[in-house]
Amino acid sequence: MAFGKALAVAAIVAVTLVVLLRTEHDYATIKSFSLRKGDIPQLGLGTWLSDRDEVAHAVEYALDNGYDHIDAALIYKNEDQTGKGIKASGIDRSKIWVTSKLWNSDHRQDEAEAAIQKSIADLGVGYLDLYLMHWPVAFVPGEGTRLDEGTSVVDTWRTMEDLVRKNYTRHIGVSNFARADVQAVLNVCEVCPYAHEFETHPYLQQQNFVDWHREIGVKVIAYSPLANTNPTYRDKKGSLVGPIFKDPFWTELAESKNATVAQVVLAWGVQRGTVVIPKSESEKHIDENRGALEVEFSKEEMEAIAKRDKKVRMNDPGKSWGIKLFADLDDPSGFDGDNAEL
């Protein structure tokens, strides 16, 4: 009899544990929204500032030559041409990771849904793998860059969550956020950020910020991973540090690896755990950038690179928008210097 009672108690305990574990698992699934077909590829093709007449071929060529990740945005004004390149490649949709972004004037619910529908249609992809809030800044629709004081980051995030529930995108994330902005989203999210895309490169390493994202389980996508090679940067803050392709430290490191400077810079970005999305319209450079995946560094080499951080931010439109960005990060916005682009 005692033995039978013991079995009954054990059964009840087991069932209770299963229920509790299932409940915790279900909650975790809701909080992280991990309906993955695989993680985001570590190397992608960026399309910011890509010429409308050239981006379709660049995308097609990249996809036909080993790339499986395209980074786009509505504000780049070339998603329709990017979509032509995706279609021309003939690569199955399920084998391509496609990211797009919600522009500042589309933060309200109706505008956001229309914006993602347009991106999906222009890209010709049926759905997105990742949709990012492009900046933690809302503009009043139809009124240029006038700030929308009535729409908060949290309000926009709730709208983004609905876009996942409506199957427009598999994942959502943020871009160009300060740490406090990310934390504000984490405090309330039901569908939480999959990734954060922000400027980081050897001249703006932000290693503590990168490490913090790893701790909270958010992927880091590094835009402008080749530092000040972007022509937009060269006449602004990029001129303060000199072109990275001529930096003796990087040219010597590249020579030691029998690689190009672009390859070693991108390889560093990959080895530190970030996703890199260099933009190029050149077949030669698209091929060259892919070679970065073959370059590796020793611990001592990574430590030497860490000492080359110049803490110089190239992209900061805060002045023109009348808002201070990156307040708790290296080189935060000021209102007495040059602004940059998107």
Determine which one of 61, 76, 131, 168 is catalytic: 76
Specify whether 203 is catalytic: no
Angle between helices 283-290 and 261-271 (to 10 degrees): 40
Residues designated as active site: 76
